[in-house]
Amino acid sequence: MLFGEAPSRIVLSVGSESIAALDAIAARHGVPCVRLGAVGSARLRITDGQTALIDLPVQDLSDIWRGSIPVKAGVPPVPGDAEDARLRAAYDRLQQRIRGGRA
C-alpha cells in the first residue's frame, strides 16, 4: 500500500538521526514500526527486490496531486496559464505511463 487513510496506519518521515527515537517510542507503546525507505531523491522509486514498481519524478507527482481536482473535474487550463498547463501535462504523462504498463 502506497497510501492509506485507515486509522490504524500512518506514514512518518523522520531524519536519520531520529530513527532510533521513533523505534523506541513505537516499542514503548506496543506499536509496530517498519522502515519503508529513505527520502532524498528527485524521484519516487519503489521496488520489490530488483523490480522497479514505481519510478517517477517527485515534481510530476506533486503537480498531479496539486492539480488532480481540476483535471478530474474537466476544468481546462486557462489559456496562457503555465501552472495549469504544467499540471495537466504531468497528469497526462502519468496516465500514459499507466496505460503503457509502467507506473
Residues 6+ apart with CB under 8 A from 45: 52, 54, 55
Confidence class of residue 39 from pLDDT cuts 50, 70 and 90? confident
| Residue listed under C-alpha cell 504531468 | 90
Is the CB of residue 71 less than 8 Å from the CB of residue 91? yes
Q: Examine the pLDDT at 102 and tell me if it is beyond 60.
A: no
Q: How far is CA 47 from CA 40, 44, 102, in A?
A: 16, 10, 13
Q: How far is CA 25 from CA 16, 37, 39, in A?
A: 15, 19, 21
**pTM reported for the whole predicted model:** 0.49
